[in-house]
């Protein structure tokens, strides 16, 4: 299933880059991808650390009907993505209890499963009401790099800058609260408030990422690079940088190959992200076997 030829690829990096950036839409796509990768890499690192991947998954599912409703109402897609994810994050913050999986976990996962299916069903309804623009449905679900406007890039930039500033401001206490919630609470860190603020940031990151990768493939940038980085290093600063770097790499390579190949960008981005993860994971297992020191690296072991 690997494409045998990549149309127009000359294997000369300079001419290839020039060919690719000849079109404004591709320049926009590269800018948008870069912004999204930085945002998703940083916030994804905290999400993986806090074990909130299921929350991220739910938010991504909520993004789809939001975008479809925006398309139906004639609003810019970004409004739908950010609006739905913001509301969804607020909803999750009010529902989620500190402690997470405990009593009633089965009922809670049933509720989340139902919510996801309902969100996707509503999205399908809106797309249907929009009169079945199939290309639209596909790009909402699986992402596209076509038709990203300069205005969209600017919106993404402002949202990303704001989100990263907030993350930088709450980063240290958030890290503390994520690593050891009990101690943090005892010391007087407002863990609940921090958790809510982080969910809101996560909602923003999901909404931004969904505009490139589509609602179904958000995890490719949000989870996989962060999980890979946490396999490689236990140090928070280095891990965050690595996560951002990996997300950037995967996005650029994915966008480039998608440009020269007939296959969708979502496939390439998920494949490279997953491939890197597998390689690193296998490498880490092998290293552990070669040097059997007690204990595995956990994030923040040297911090607290």
Partner 1 sequence: MLAHEFMRNAFLAGTFVALACGLVGYFVVLRAQVFAGDALSHVAFTGALAAAAAGVDVRLGLLVATLGVAAGMGALGRRARPDDVVIGSVFAWILGLGALFLSIFIAGSSGSDGTAAVRVLFGSILGLSAGEAWLAAAIAVAACLALLVLARPLLLSSLDPEVARGLGVPVRALGVAFLLVLGVVAAEATQAVGALLLLGLLAAPGGAARLLTDRPWHGLALSAAIAVGSTWAGLALSYEIESLPASTAIIGVASAAFVLAGARSALAAAAPRPSSIEA
Q: Summarize as ranges the residues that interact with partner 1 (CB under 8 A).
A: 1, 48, 51, 53-54, 56-57, 103-107, 109-118, 120-122, 124-125, 128-129, 134, 137-138, 141-143, 214, 216-220, 223-224, 227, 262-264, 266-271, 273-274, 277
Nearer to partner 1, 189 or 203 (CB): 203
- Shortest Å distance, C-beta 144 to partner 1: 11
What is the closest distance, in whole angstroms, from the C-beta atom of residue 113 to partner 1 in the complex?
3
Please state, in angstroms and rounded to a whole number, the distance separating the CA atoms of residues 179 and 206. Answer: 23
Question: Tokens 């810019």 map to which residue?
Answer: 76
Q: Please tell me the total number of residues recorded for the chain in this structure.
A: 304
Choice between 195 and 266, CB closer to partner 1? 266
Is the distance from CB of 244 to CB of 37 less than 8 angstroms?
A: yes
Least distance between partner 1 and beta carbon 8 (Å): 17
In the complex with partner 1, the residue whose CB is nearer, 27 or 232, is 232
Smallest distance, partner 1 to C-beta of residue 30, A? 20
CA distances from 168 to 136, 162, 171 (A): 35, 10, 5
| Minimum separation from the CB atom of position 134 to partner 1 (A) | 6
* Residue 155 vs 243, nearer CB to partner 1: 243
Task: Answer yes or no: are the C-beta atoms of 210 and 63 closer than 8 Å.
Answer: yes
Distance CA 230, CA 97 (A): 26
**End-to-end CA gap in the chain:** 48
């Amino acid at each position: 299933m690997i494409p045998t030829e990549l149309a127009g690829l000359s294997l000369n990096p300079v001419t290839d880059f020039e060919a690719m950036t000849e079109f404004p839409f591709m320049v926009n796509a590269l800018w948008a991808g870069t912004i999204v990768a930085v945002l998703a890499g940083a916030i994804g690192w905290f999400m993986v650390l806090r074990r909130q991947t299921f929350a991220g998954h739910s938010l991504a599912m909520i993004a789809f009907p939001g975008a479809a409703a925006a398309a139906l109402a004639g609003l810019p897609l970004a409004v739908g993505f950010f609006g739905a994810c913001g509301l969804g994050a607020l909803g999750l913050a009010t529902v989620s209890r500190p402690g997470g999986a405990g009593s009633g976990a089965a009922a809670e996962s049933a509720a989340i499963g139902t919510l996801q299916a309902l969100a996707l069903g509503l999205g399908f309804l809106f797309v249907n009401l929009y009169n079945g623009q199939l290309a639209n449905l596909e790009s909402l679900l699986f992402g596209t790099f076509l038709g990203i406007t300069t205005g969209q890039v600017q919106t993404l930039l402002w949202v990303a800058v704001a989100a990263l500033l907030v993350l930088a401001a709450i980063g240290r206490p958030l890290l503390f609260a994520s690593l050891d919630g009990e101690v943090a609470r005892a010391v007087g860190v407002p863990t609940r408030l921090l958790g809510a603020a982080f969910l809101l940031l996560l909602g923003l990151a999901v909404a931004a990422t969904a505009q490139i990768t589509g609602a179904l493939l958000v995890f490719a940038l949000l989870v996989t690079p962060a999980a890979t980085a946490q396999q490689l290093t236990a140090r928070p600063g280095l891990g965050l940088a690595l996560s951002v770097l990996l997300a950037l790499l995967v996005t650029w390579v994915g966008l480039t190959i998608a440009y020269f190949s007939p296959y969708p960008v979502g496939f390439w981005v998920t494949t490279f992200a997953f491939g890197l993860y597998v390689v690193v994971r296998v490498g880490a297992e092998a290293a552990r076997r070669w040097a059997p020191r007690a204990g595995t690296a956990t994030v923040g072991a040297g911090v607290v």
